[in-house]
Amino acid sequence: MGSHAKRGRRPKSRAANSSAKNAEDGSTATRHVPPAPPCVAKLNAQHWHVLEEGCADVAAFALRPSQHAQLLACAVPQRLVEILFTAPSSVGQSQKGDCSNSGHAPRQPHSGVFYLQTAAAEALRNLVVNSAEDAVVDVLAASTFPTSDSGQQLQLQQGQGGGRRIGFRDGLVTLLMSAWDTVQKTRREAPLAPPTVVSKNEADGAMSNEEQWVTEGCGANEELLHAPFMIACRALEEVLQLIAVCVEGSEHIAEAFSAPGVLHALLSLLETTTGVVWETLQHPALLYEPPVEGRGVMWLRQYKRREAELLAAVAVAASEVLHMLSDENEVLASLLQSPR
């Protein structure tokens, strides 16, 4: 007799009782499972700015542990990793659609990649940090993910579903190397002169020949905030912060970042960034010689100050990764003690 059967009433047959109980349990489970938050749908959008918004929403939801079971059930961590690893191709497809549907040029594709990687890395970090018993990082460490075309030169493995796939820890190593290379490249290509704005005479529709220096006010701030080098630094900082919490939560991931080549890259990154910051703090006169105009010097000082702030943040994040790897790490100790 079932525990829920009333006294004095003949119980139903075992088969009927079992079917009724299963139906009741299923309906109860359906009633108690909340619907997926809208951010889950945004993570499957076609346009990168919608993906970025979805990642930002997940980052906020991840701060509440009560939401984690639902996010895990929707495979949100896995989707965030896919976005993080395939951001270049995702943004490329989005840019093609934007160009065909609008008459004006959209944001540069590489800028969209940086914004998307920053948002996805932040959301993943919040999930890993706030998860119970390293549940998120354990799931990710045991999974493989698709990669974009830009990462095919790295060691890839074949997945069950076809196509090229890569393990989470190897993907993080790949992402670190790629992000650091991008920061160095965008820094080399950064202009050492203020941008110019050509003013338009709306009365006669003619374009004046006078170029105005954008050296102060919101115009200069916008150029500094959205310069490729600046947003690439923010993406690298978030990637390093994500790596730090993953290394702390998984020995399997820590092993990948304890490889001599990866440790050497982290030490080189730390040395380069701290060196640039130190030079900027010294205010050498040579840094401000190229632009001869006084306003150009002001703009360059502002740019160098912002550059130092971002590279200092990158250095702090890299040192945190090295700190997590330092416990009984013979390879790291050997590299630190080896002569230059």
DSSP string, 81-148: HHHHHSHHHHHHHHHHHHHHH-SS--S-HHHHHHHHHHHHHHHHHHHHHHSGGGHHHHHHHT-EEE--
Distance CA 340, CA 337 (A): 9
Residue 280: HSE in the Cβ half-sphere, 13 Å Cα cutoff: 19
Q: What counts of helices (H) and strands (E) characterise the chain? A: 15, 5
The predicted-structure confidence for 97-156, as pLDDT tens digits, reads as follows: 444 444 434 444 468 889 999 999 999 999 999 988 889 999 999 988 987 654 443 333
The predicted-structure confidence for 254-301, as pLDDT tens digits, reads as follows: 999 999 999 999 999 999 999 999 988 887 655 555 544 566 677 777
Distance CA 329, CA 314 (A): 22
Distance CA 90, CA 168 (A): 19
Please tell me whether the overall predicted TM-score, pTM, comes out greater than 0.85 for this model: no
Q: Report the pLDDT value the prediction gives residue 163, as an integer from 0 to 100.
A: 58
Listed residue (129, 161, 150) closest to 84, CA to CA:
150
Distance CA 157, CA 165 (A): 5
